[in-house]
């Protein structure tokens, strides 16, 4: 099964959850049943994650979140990618487009949303519905290249982020898949300023020094994942990730750690 799982700009649990028994794009876009396929597949589960409270935070939190995925033919609805469609050619070229949601950031500790009480006075980064497109190409049976772009659709947000990377799969059997992902993360000025910048007004209210974040490469990330299928219905996924912020944003006063790490364990049931 080809896995095109994209990483969000911070180490979000939803971005790292792997659904190892979901319908593959190859099956979804095949001739069995056409674009709508011949069956609807459901995946339900739970994920436990340890990750930073927000991009640049040195405080970590434990989250327990649901995993939900529904797929029929080329169409999908899940907690990782949102609502959309995907297609995979016989040559290994993949494309998907979806409507998702960027939850923004809050200036308080939250069990669900990115944010921290250390950001008091910064104001909230408003959430927004987003448009997300991803392309990928299987170069060899073990190596895949992919890129994605996501744009906020809410008036006045003007945020866009981009990712490009490689995935190497050194071990793949009927029951196990081990993969290593190396990615670069980019943002336009609106995105980098929203998540890493400090305006003069925010500086007066929060006490942080002013910081202007320009667009460009803001982080590198490396992750390793292991997915194991126990039965035709039950699967588990274990993911460990690390992120390094670049000098584009690492000198921001709200970036309290240049490095971030995350671990996620997910249990899923498909039917």
Q: Residues 106-120: pLDDT tens digits?
A: 999 999 999 999 999
For position 80, what pLDDT does the model report? 87
For position 33, what pLDDT does the model report? 64
For position 38, what pLDDT does the model report? 87
- Report, at the CATH architecture level, how domain 13-270 is classified: Beta Barrel (2.40)
Is residue 76 over pLDDT 80? yes
pLDDT, one tens digit per residue, over 138-171 is: 999 999 999 999 999 998 889 999 999 999 999 9
Is residue 125 over pLDDT 90? yes
* pLDDT (mean) for 54-65: 95
Is residue 103 over pLDDT 90? yes
For position 29, what pLDDT does the model report? 52
Alpha-carbon span 32 to 174, nearest angstrom: 21
* pLDDT (mean) for 74-93: 94
Average pLDDT, the chain: 89
Give the percent of the chain with pLDDT over 90.
Answer: 83
* pLDDT (mean) for 124-137: 96
3-state secondary structure 184-243: EEEECHHHHHHHHCECHHHHHHHCCCCECCCCEEEEEEEEEEEEEECCCCEEEEEEEEEE
For position 1, what pLDDT does the model report? 38
For position 87, what pLDDT does the model report? 94
Higher pLDDT, 183 or 19: 183
For position 15, what pLDDT does the model report? 43
Residue 36 confidence class, pLDDT cut points 50, 70, 90: confident
* pLDDT (mean) for 10-37: 50
pLDDT, one tens digit per residue, over 170-207 is: 999 999 999 999 999 999 999 999 999 999 999 999 99
Give the percent of the chain with pLDDT over 70.
Answer: 88
Is residue 21 over pLDDT 90? no
Is residue 7 over pLDDT 50? no
Residue 23 confidence class, pLDDT cut points 50, 70, 90: very low
For position 152, what pLDDT does the model report? 97
């Amino acid at each position: 099964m080809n896995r095109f799982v994209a990483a969000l700009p911070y180490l979000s649990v939803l971005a790292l959850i792997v659904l190892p028994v979901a319908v593959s794009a190859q099956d979804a876009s095949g001739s069995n049943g056409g674009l709508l396929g011949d069956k609807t597949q459901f995946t339900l589960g739970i994920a436990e994650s340890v990750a930073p409270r927000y991009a640049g935070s040195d405080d970590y939190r434990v989250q327990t979140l649901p995993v939900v995925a529904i797929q029929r033919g080329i169409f999908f609805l899940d907690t990782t990618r949102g609502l959309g469609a995907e297609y995979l050619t016989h040559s290994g070229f993949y494309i998907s487009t979806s409507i998702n949601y960027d939850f923004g950031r809050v200036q308080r500790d939250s069990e669900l949303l990115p944010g921290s009480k250390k950001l008091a006075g910064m104001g909230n980064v408003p959430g927004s519905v987003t448009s997300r497109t991803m392309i990928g190409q299987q170069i060899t049976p073990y190596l895949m290249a992919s890129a994605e772009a996501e744009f906020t659709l809410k008036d006045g947000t003007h945020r866009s982020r981009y990712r490009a990377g490689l995935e190497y799969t050194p071990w793949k059997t009927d029951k196990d898949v081990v993969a290593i992902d190396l990615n670069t993360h980019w943002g336009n000025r609106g995105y980098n300023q929203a998540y890493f910048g400090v305006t003069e007004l925010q500086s007066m209210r929060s006490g942080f020094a002013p910081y202007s974040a320009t667009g460009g490469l803001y982080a590198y990330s490396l992750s390793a994942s292991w997915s194991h299928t126990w039965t035709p219905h039950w699967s588990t996924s274990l993911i460990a990730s690390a992120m390094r912020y670049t000098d584009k944003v690492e000198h921001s006063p709200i970036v309290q750690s240049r490095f971030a790490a995350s671990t996620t364990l997910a249990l899923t049931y498909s039917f």
